[in-house]
Amino acid sequence: MCGLAGIALLGGAVLKADAEPLLQAMTTAVAHRGPDEQVVEREGPVGLGFTRLALVAPDAGDQPIHTPDEAVVLIANGEVYNHGALARTLASGAVMRTASDCEVLAHLYQERGLRFLEEVRGMFALVIYDAARNRLVLARDRFGIKPLYFHRNTERIVFASEIKALFLDPATPRGVNWEEALGSPVLQSAPVLTDTQPVTWFTGIDSVPPGTIIEIDLHDGRTRTRRYWEFPGKAPELPDSDDEFVERYRCLLAESVAYCATADAELGLLLSGGIDSAAVAALAVRSTPLHTFTILSPSTVETGDASFSHLVARWLGVPNHQVYVPRDHCPSHEEWLRFLWLMEHPMAGPEAYLKHEMYRYARAVRPSIKGMLLGAASDEFNGGNSVDISGNGDWFDFARNVAQMARRGEAITAAGAAVWNELLTAPVVRGACGAQGGGDDYQRFLVAEYRKVHQYNVWHEDRSAAGSGIEARVPFLDHRLVELVTAVPASRRERLLFDKRILRAAVRDLLPKEVVEREKVPFVYGSGVRHTHRMLIRMLTQEGGRLVEEALSGPGATEYLDGDALRQVVRKIELGVDVETADLVLRLLNLGLLDNLVATSRPALVETPVRAVLSAWQGAAFVGDDGQQMAQAVLGHTPLSPDAVPAWSGDVMVLDATDGSMQRYILRDGAIEYLIDEENPAWYSFVVEIDGVRSLGELLAFVAVPYREVAEPLWEAIDAGLVAVVARDERAGSVALLDAGTGSTRGEDG
């Protein structure tokens, strides 16, 4: 991974020395992407900035790369996995000046012109200055794994790996494109299929599309765009049987993993315990020593990610660092702004934040790690979302629901605001924006997944890793692998693609049966989503709601968002109502925060220390033999004794709503602290019975609910100081108060 930046003048002008400070500043803005080297070079009308992360040929891979005749200059970010095979296809006499895997691109361009990327396998973003023809060439890999953005006017074009570098140019617009952003179905997570194109979120900022080459004549600005690959790509010759499909899939995946696991630097792997990352790990350990990293939090304990990751690591014989995130952890105001500025994306949320923190921890404990293997982007094309979309039904239900998503997409013409307001059950967005689509339903579904990968998946995977000087590698985004699974005939889709059956079958002999057959579990969501939402709520309400007020303070937010309505939604979420909308609310607030960050010329990223609370669990592994004790420690409490007596603390009371709705309120000193409705019927029934006299066991028996259904809200009330728990020791005739979060007692006179 590297950082690219540059300027190219149009109209025949030469870039003079007075452009050097801007070029240096733009390059420094992406220095976190390449901490090993930083170079700036001017060539006629073009200035190129390059920062290097040396994974291949660390001592002989410097850039910019010049061809021997000095006619072509190249800077590239990424990896060309088949560079050796490509070099052997070059005309005799081609001289390689470096050992860089990217140098072959410059020679391919000289020999083949704009057809030079058709046989390249890898992930890359590149800039070529063709001095002989005075042309600038920008290009990206087939899935947009590596980023490249630009802004252009009549006099020049500025380009960079991250948008923040472009904002250092005084002529680049500075602001969020609110209408385009609010109209994005990806931002809304709306269950629809539309023809909406990916966006950059910012006014005047363009992104080089995936699988595309842009050629600009620097004499007159004339531009040619060429697609060298179209999704879903050229359909391969199809196998005759399902078994042959599985075997070909396994061979392609193994080859892709082998490519991604090749480096002259240490590699790690983010391990979730699901089939995707486990499959990559099982194939990678054949040739590469790995340290694996897993988030250990209340959510991952509850979903099983922590224990399954330990199981996979132990099975494969690799270290597994369980990065501990306490239940009360949330980013501070400054930490969130730093993270959001790194991401440059309104969908920056808990998933990307926790990965970002895991990368920071990985680099702190393993400083030599420069690359990380991922199981990302498997779901999108292997059928990983089919069970969820089917409503836990079958392939028929999946196909029917995809068709309904297509019909809903067709109904969205200019209803962006209406969609937001329906999702949040409040008129928080003003105006209208949206998109419309058409075409074959399943094909549109695949295209939508492809665009989502580009718009969100690879963006957040790249940026969360880049912030720690680590390159994210994505074996499932080998174009030959994707071409195979997208070409599966309709008659075979259920057998091969429903619930990722082709992947499960391909690695069945490499992993434990329980891992191969484990159901898909969303990272930090799923059954543990309430822990994730609690972190969001804590972040949004800290310091008197400082982030919310800051997000709503700018002119863009004032024009497009109803601040009072959004504050009311945040308050409802804080009270426990419509908590599932917290992620959507955060995205709207992120737009406002980004708008402010851009307007105030946010400085270059400043590294902050890894928080002390983020440290590996003692032993650096989930202790399987003591898993229950570990889980209780991570969740922050141990089960209460049935003899414990819960009692309200101080001036706390429970009141029923007076409007006839099925709602109850917990008040402290006359102010509403929590709102309880029938979304948790067990807690709704239990809470009104707390009287300080009956024991926990007696209360549970009276309302006929199990402890597990009230444990979490009860401990939240204990942690908030609303409930005290009294343990009666009949033998000593004394009363002991249970310390919240520990289960230990302290004695008092009875």
> pLDDT (tens digit, 9 = 90+) per residue, 297-344?
888 888 889 889 989 999 999 999 888 888 788 999 999 999 999 999
Q: Is 148:4 a contact under the CB 8 Å cutoff?
A: yes
- pLDDT score of 621: 39
Instruction: Please state, in angstroms and as integers, the Cα–Cα distance from residue 696 to each residue in 328, 640, 666, following that order.
Output: 25, 8, 19
Residue by residue, DSSP assigns 137-186 as: EEEE-TT--S--EEEE-SSEEEEESSHHHHTTSTTS--SB-HHHHHT-HH
Least Cα distance to 476 among 489, 490, 486 occurs for 486
What are the backbone dihedrals phi and psi of residue 144, each rounded to the nearest 5 degrees, phi first? 70, 30
* 571-587: average pLDDT: 89
Instruction: Please state, in angstroms and as integers, the Cα–Cα distance from residue 153 to each residue in 180, 263, 598, 720, following that order.
Output: 20, 39, 19, 55
Of these ranges, 266-275, 304-313, 724-733, the one predicted with the greatest mean pLDDT is: 266-275
Pairing of strands 320-324, 291-296: parallel
In the predicted structure, residue 721 carries a pLDDT above the cut 60: yes
Least Cα distance to 525 among 721, 290, 303, 249 occurs for 303
In the predicted structure, residue 147 carries a pLDDT above the cut 50: yes
Distance CA 295, CA 698 (A): 37
Q: Which residue segments constitute the domains of the chain, with CATH numbers given?
A: 2-175+203-227 (3.60.20.10), 242-599 (3.40.50.620), 637-748 (3.90.930)
- pLDDT score of 440: 72
pLDDT interval class at 413 (50, 70, 90): very low
DSSP label of 491: G
Pairing of strands 2-9, 46-52: antiparallel
pLDDT interval class at 437 (50, 70, 90): very low
DSSP label of 689: T
pTM score: 0.86
* 270-292: average pLDDT: 95
Residue corresponding to tokens 């401990």: 715
Residue by residue, DSSP assigns 102-117 as: THHHHHHHHHHGGGTT
Distance CA 463, CA 56 (A): 20
- pLDDT score of 747: 37
> pLDDT (tens digit, 9 = 90+) per residue, 466-503?
999 999 999 999 999 999 999 999 999 999 999 999 99
Q: Is 323:357 a contact under the CB 8 Å cutoff?
A: yes
- Would residue 512 be called left, alpha or beta, if left means φ above 0 and alpha means ψ between -120 and 50 degrees? beta
* 212-225: average pLDDT: 97
Helix 529-551 and helix 350-365, axial crossing angle in degrees, nearest 10: 100
pLDDT interval class at 416 (50, 70, 90): low
* 172-198: average pLDDT: 88
Peptide bond into 232 cis (omega under 30): yes
Which helix (H) or strand (E) element contains residue 335? helix 333-343
Per residue, the 3-state secondary structure of 360-410, as one string, reads HHHHHHCCCEEEEECCCCCHHHHCCCHHHHCCCCCHHHHHHHHHHHHHHHH
